[in-house]
Structure 1
Amino acid sequence: MKKVLKICYFAALMTGGLFLLTSFLTSSSPVTPYQFPYKHAGLTERQAAEHLLDRFTYGATPAQIDQVIKMGLENWFSQQLNAEQPDDSLNKRLNSYDAINLSNTEVCREYPPGFVIRSMAIKDSVISKDSVDKAVDKKTFNAKLQAYMNKKGFKSDQDLYKQFIDQNILRAAYTNNQLQEVLTDFWFNHFNVSFFKGECAQFIPAYERDIIRPNSLGKFDQMLMASAKSPAMLYYLDNFTSVGPVVVTPPKIPVKAAVANGDISMMMSAGNAAITANKVKTLTQPGKNVNGLNENYAREVMELHTLGVDGGYTQQDVTQAARVLTGWTIYPISDQAYGSNMKGLVAKIGENNLAKKGYIHEGDFLFTPNRHDQGEKVVLGHIFPSSTDPTAGYQEGVSLLEMLAHHPSTAKFICKKLAVRFVSDNPPQSLLKKMAKSFTAHDGDIKQVLITMVNSREFWDKKALLTKTKSPFELAISAVRGLNADIKDPYQLFNWISKMGEKIYYYQAPTGFPDRGQYWINTGALLNRMDFSLALTSGQISGVKVDLNNCITHQQPADAENTIMSFSKLLLPEQNADQMAKELSPFLNAPGLAAKMNNTTQPIKQVPVPTMEKPMAGAPGDMMLMSAVIDNKPKPTAQEPARTIYAINNNRSNTMQALAAGIIIGSPEFQKR
């Protein structure tokens, strides 16, 4: 009996222990079962913290290195992977942007493209067709259109794009979930769409908000699938127009009868096989109202989104994949222009009857079986059998995208792009193999791939430190974060970022912006970067406030060397600034410098920075992205824009601070991350 009691007691004890262990393992508290090997690379904890912030944020804010060390490097990284930090301060800044949360349908209703408004105004006899772009009295023409827009409750599409650009800058500068925002930029660039193409422009805000950002730390195949179904991508790469050949289902004819009559062709097509009635030509740049097999998306989904240019596919695979994806189009989300294509079809069939007829409706996506190629296709050796089953056509596309997402070439291609973004322009093969293995083993889980990368010795190698060149966007955001700037008008930063060479959301090619230093750095770019740096620190960017006095401590005398050292410590932590202070001090102490920079008797000469408030015309063959109201402002000339003349109207100390901070931000050291 005692023996039985002992056994029961031991079993209960073990059960309780397992319960406690399970509770601990499933706790919501951050668990970091890994330890970063930075010590093996000879890095101190502070150097390692700075490296983490350089790679996985848009730049450290003041004292953030200390915060990361206090929290623990691994815990901080795990917290960033979860992307659940509260963003109350950011959300307050975003409250005034009422358009950024609209659905695609609401955007089409409230912010119709300019050409749609003009067409409606012509139809309603508000303006004449001949006056568009040729109005003699542009002021009167604009007034009529504006009154028409007000009456209809329309808003300028330019305001939508401006709000979207503004919110992007504010998120990058102020979100506590920095890694998610960095990855949102990475994946948007990977699955690039562009304001340059008018057809997709309206749908880009929802594309980033609903497709890219939520999936940026999830499974790769889910993001690929979501992007393929989004109106922005369907319009950008023209798959919404892609249709298969017209098919006719022949009557059932017994095979014996066909053989008896000697009709071999009839014998081959006997049964329920579909006969192609008309062969549809292949299109790469379809014109208006032209239907056909469009290969644009099929090519880019292989070359840029999954396999890579050396991924082992052929032109035949591209054509066959395009056939698989015929019928993937847009559900009617607008009564006018883009988004209205399928309105007649849906009305004819009836929304409640779509599923019965084999149509797939998911949000703004629609699969139309009557536009799908029902013949047999072969992609990368995988056979998609011919079928007249309408539901099978949609599953073909799903299977194709899943196959591409899980292909070994995709693992290599995606992991190399991630390594180039977060490690170096030429990441070591040993790291790429580890990451690709993790990608495959964890079903394309982006979090697990990042964990593998950051736990590798290659990531912490001293050779990888400060080797990546900041893009103009990264430079601007890291500068405002480093100086704890208060951004009241983000669009002014957008103008400067564009001037430095990166007009966000406007990169025309599906490749997205290159992620290598040689693309960003040349003589002109360096001058523009220095202009931006001095404009920021001297208070010349309207809508961006920088208080340099609150950025640094004032324990030391406010001489040139101490000022340089103070701002170097703030903006270039863990870097030796002795040489920089030695070289710059004579410049800041130059006689007459304060007088030149502090001429309070004369107004400041401020040469306007060329702005790009209006999206430019799209690619050849694309609908122009234009405002309804004619822009009668002088067009900027092609000549080199005049340089800005800076002034700080306080005292020598402020002048010295502005110059020191500006030169450091414009220095090669700050250009690296």
Structure 2
Amino acid sequence: MKKILKICCFFTLLTGSLYLLSSFLINPGSVSIYKFPYKRAGLTERQAAEHLLSRFSYGATPGQVDSVMKIGLENWFNQQLNADLPDDSLNKRLSVYDGLKLSNAEVCSQYPPGFVIRSMAIKDSVISKDSVNKAVDKKAFNLQLRAYMDKKGFKSDQDLYKQFINQKILRAAYTRNQLQEVMTDFWFNHFNVSFFKGECAQFIPAYERDVIRPNVLGKFGQLLLASAQSPAMLYYLDNFTSVGPPATNLPKPKAKPVAANEGADMMMMGGNNDTTVPNKVKTLTKPANVNGLNENYAREVMELHTLGVEGGYTQQDVTQAARVLTGWTVYPISDNAYGSAMKGLVAKIGENNLAQKGYVREGDFLFTPNRHDQGEKVVLGHRFPAGSDPAAAYQEGVTLLDMLAHQPATAKFISRKLAVRFVSDAPVQSLIDRMAKSFTDHDGDMKQVLITLVTSREFWDKKTLFSKTKSPFELAISSVRGLNADVKDPYPLFSWISRMGQKIYYYQAPTGFPDRGKYWINTGSLLNRMDFSLALASGQVSGVKVNLNKITAKQQAQENAEAIINTYSKLLLPEKKLDQTNKKLVDLLNDPSFLVKANNIVRQDKTVSTAVSEKPEVGASGDMMFMSATSDSKSKVAETVEKQKKNYEMFRTKRTAMQALAAGIIIGSPEFQQR
């Protein structure tokens, strides 16, 4: 009997061990635990693959629809949720940017703001105080500063920002983990910070790298806490200065309803990247500069980050939440300028004595109990009792953020934003409700919420296909991917994206860029989109190499407009019925006036101005693909055509030129502008 029991135990252990071993050996990305209901929506597998790529990536590359079908749609999505595909090629491109791996402290040391360099140069008698902004010979003045920077080993902070912008473009264009990058853009926009506010600018690269990107497919509560403790957010929404009153002078809160749009619009986002006023340094670096309670972050964490404007909170809740978060500030990062505010305090207490005195440090975050409001607070009905225990004081803020992350209003607010991003500008409430339930049931796990979204009938409904308008950034990146372009220098693309109306990382308001089509579409932006499309396809975007012959090598060489249009329609707009559109495009390609206009565009100066409006006008009329062709007066076009008639026939019969124009006008067409 004992022998039988031993044998049974042996086999039980063996079976269990094999099961555990198999769980490690099996690639979780290849296991489908759900099925997409695209067939019930009347879509073919190829149409479904194209739709999946259009929403959860920055656009399909040549042949990618076939590759997704080959591995299976659900398997591809699982791989994207895991976000662990090797990115050797991308990493090689990024390796030239030495500023991307620096800590906040290293950034402050190597890339100090301009006003800090000037202050140091004045102190060292390299330049005079009176010469700042008043130098007669500005070139000589700048050369003096440059020589001083070289001697000290300083680099321009603008070079850091340029590196950071370049990496975003390269990641979006070339990462194999496309969903992670799309979600990084989504969450950065949700927890927006801006280069426009100089106090937080230097900390934005680490903010995206260490706070946003690692958490985009994790649990919402973890991302919320990480963002709240980041120097970029603490400076952007001013919580680093928020201080409670002495314990003997506790406030008596008064209830007051919060206005519908009070939070996002009331806050002035001051500062820039080139602060020159010396006394501003004192304002930001001395702990004594406290104006008491600052409600900016408390308001936005409710209105924009969690509950939403209709989330059921009051002005009293905002004030009380701000009191809970007093003492949340930045650990001293540098000796100069932003990031040095707590340097004197830490030095006085002693680095090794912080913990025993109740100070909490998490990376570059510091909780200072002596600045915390010790009185009783009540937020959304939850009571935080009065007390002087430093550990309990810090935990108040953690508890508050956790409470906000788990509110039903938060589940609905985040679910709605995700549905707007991935389904349509006006998603149906039934989908939002199911996503919100998944959010609540799975503790804010973004993977589960996205699975609920992508397995819904609403996501695959034909009415929602191609219903989203690409932002300028999405248009530029999807064009690069669709043409399999080689981006050697990303910054000219940033210039074009800015010209089209989206200056990434520079959006000033905490709301982030709106995610609705009407925001992006106006007469000026349509002209710029068509100009960009023609310039890119014809190889006139500096730093970007496009080889049209290579990506159509398998296609039979054709000289006529119809054949070329059909070739590029299939390449750039797979699975779209384009009979009528292609006819219009062929007519356009055969129109001498358009060819003259296009010829002027592709020969224009490659330098593009980035001085663009932050908010394009809305409500333009007309087809975007014809805007650029008809912008000149008829008489002017006719005159130009007449002058260039002799060159026209030669120009239109060159296959390379025809290819470039065909690809350009397809990228500029309404169909390609949609995702």
Query: Shared fold (TM-score greater than 0.5)?
Result: yes
Contact 2:294 2:322 in 1 (8 A): yes
Aligned to 2:95: 95
Is 1:609 the counterpart of 2:611? The answer is no
Residue 514 of structure 2 aligns to which amino acid in structure 1? P
Contact 1:434 1:452 in 2 (8 A): yes
Aligned to 2:493: 493
Query: Residue 119 and residue 7 in structure 1: after superposition, are their counterparts in 2 closer, same or farther (change >3 A)?
Result: closer
Distance 2:441 2:253 in 1: 41
Aligned to 1:560: 561
Distance 2:154 2:396 in 1: 40
More deviation in 537-546 or 501-510?
Answer: 537-546
Is 1:147 the counterpart of 2:147? The answer is yes
Distance 1:193 1:495 in 2: 20
Query: Residue 649 and residue 206 in structure 1: after superposition, are their counterparts in 2 closer, same or farther (change >3 A)?
Result: farther
Query: Residue 418 and residue 65 in structure 1: after superposition, are their counterparts in 2 closer, same or farther (change >3 A)?
Result: same
Residue 670 of structure 2 aligns to which amino acid in structure 1? P
Distance 1:279 1:140 in 2: 58
Distance 2:226 2:501 in 1: 30
Alignment of 1:153-168 (within 5 A): 153-168=153-168
Query: Residue 221 and residue 28 in structure 1: after superposition, are their counterparts in 2 closer, same or farther (change >3 A)?
Result: farther
Displacement of 1:455 in angstroms is 1.1
Distance 2:461 2:18 in 1: 39
Is 1:672 the counterpart of 2:674? The answer is yes
1:209-258: CA deviation from partner (whole Å, max 9, x where unpaired): 000000011111111000000000000000000000023xxxxxxxxxxx
- Choose between structure 1 and 2 for higher RCO, CA contacts under 8 A separated by at least 6 residues: 1
Aligned to 1:442: 442
Displacement of 1:13 in angstroms is 5.6
Displacement of 1:557 in angstroms is 2.6
Displacement of 1:308 in angstroms is 0.5
1:546-588: CA deviation from partner (whole Å, max 9, x where unpaired): 1111122332533110100000000000012222232222332
Residue 416 of structure 1 aligns to which amino acid in structure 2? R
Displacement of 1:650 in angstroms is 10
Displacement of 1:595 in angstroms is 8.5
More deviation in 156-165 or 646-655?
Answer: 646-655
Contact 1:374 1:386 in 2 (8 A): yes
Alignment of 1:177-576 (within 5 A): 177-247=177-247, 275-276=248-249, 288=283, 289-552=289-552, 553-555=554-556, 557-576=558-577
Aligned to 1:59: 59
Aligned to 2:625: none
Query: Residue 34 and residue 62 in structure 1: after superposition, are their counterparts in 2 closer, same or farther (change >3 A)?
Result: same
Aligned to 1:259: none
Aligned to 1:130: 130
Residue 124 of structure 2 aligns to which amino acid in structure 1? D
Aligned to 1:29: 27
1:601-659: CA deviation from partner (whole Å, max 9, x where unpaired): xx95537421359x99xxxxxxxxxxxxxxxxxxxxxxx99xxx999989621111111
Displacement of 1:527 in angstroms is 0.8
Distance 1:76 1:395 in 2: 41
Aligned to 1:632: none
Distance 1:448 1:607 in 2: 45
Contact 2:424 2:467 in 1 (8 A): yes
Residue 34 of structure 2 aligns to which amino acid in structure 1? Y
Query: Residue 107 and residue 279 in structure 1: after superposition, are their counterparts in 2 closer, same or farther (change >3 A)?
Result: farther
SS in 1 for 2:160: helix
1:75-110: CA deviation from partner (whole Å, max 9, x where unpaired): 100000011111111111111100011000000000
Is 1:579 the counterpart of 2:580? The answer is yes
SS in 2 for 1:378: strand
Distance 1:176 1:86 in 2: 7
Displacement of 1:454 in angstroms is 0.8
Residue 52 of structure 2 aligns to which amino acid in structure 1? L
Contact 2:242 2:290 in 1 (8 A): no
More helix by share: 2
1:148-198: CA deviation from partner (whole Å, max 9, x where unpaired): 111111100010000000011000000000000000000000000000000
SS in 2 for 1:38: coil
Residue 131 of structure 2 aligns to which amino acid in structure 1? S
Contact 2:253 2:320 in 1 (8 A): no
Query: Residue 432 and residue 146 in structure 1: after superposition, are their counterparts in 2 closer, same or farther (change >3 A)?
Result: same
Query: Residue 303 and residue 277 in structure 1: after superposition, are their counterparts in 2 closer, same or farther (change >3 A)?
Result: closer
Query: Residue 561 and residue 443 in structure 1: after superposition, are their counterparts in 2 closer, same or farther (change >3 A)?
Result: same
Match for residue 658 of structure 1 among 657, 660, 673 = 660
SS in 2 for 1:276: coil
Contact 2:534 2:598 in 1 (8 A): no
Aligned to 1:78: 78
Residue 342 of structure 1 aligns to which amino acid in structure 2? M
More deviation in 57-66 or 456-465?
Answer: 456-465
Displacement of 1:12 in angstroms is 6.0
More deviation in 13-22 or 357-366?
Answer: 13-22
Displacement of 1:540 in angstroms is 1.1
With normalisation by structure 2, the TM-score equals 0.86
Contact 1:245 1:280 in 2 (8 A): no
Contact 2:323 2:373 in 1 (8 A): yes
Contact 1:280 1:292 in 2 (8 A): no
Distance 2:219 2:597 in 1: 57
CA RMSD of aligned residues (A): 2.8
Of the two, which has the highest radius of gyration?
Answer: 1
Q: Which runs of 5+ in 1 are unaligned?
A: 248-274, 617-639
Displacement of 1:457 in angstroms is 1.3
Displacement of 1:516 in angstroms is 0.4
SS in 1 for 2:473: helix
Residue 152 of structure 1 aligns to which amino acid in structure 2? K
SS in 2 for 1:101: coil
Residue 562 of structure 1 aligns to which amino acid in structure 2? A
Query: Residue 653 and residue 571 in structure 1: after superposition, are their counterparts in 2 closer, same or farther (change >3 A)?
Result: same
More deviation in 552-561 or 213-222?
Answer: 552-561
SS in 2 for 1:655: helix
Identity of aligned residues (%): 72
Contact 2:559 2:653 in 1 (8 A): no
Query: Residue 537 and residue 17 in structure 1: after superposition, are their counterparts in 2 closer, same or farther (change >3 A)?
Result: same
Contact 1:486 1:546 in 2 (8 A): yes
Contact 1:246 1:279 in 2 (8 A): no
Displacement of 1:22 in angstroms is 4.7
1:507-544: CA deviation from partner (whole Å, max 9, x where unpaired): 00000000000111111111110010011011111111
Contact 1:598 1:650 in 2 (8 A): no
Query: Residue 367 and residue 280 in structure 1: after superposition, are their counterparts in 2 closer, same or farther (change >3 A)?
Result: farther
Distance 2:245 2:252 in 1: 6
Displacement of 1:464 in angstroms is 1.2
Aligned to 1:262: none
Distance 2:456 2:470 in 1: 23
Distance 2:542 2:488 in 1: 8
Query: Residue 157 and residue 591 in structure 1: after superposition, are their counterparts in 2 closer, same or farther (change >3 A)?
Result: closer
SS in 1 for 2:40: helix
SS in 1 for 2:582: helix
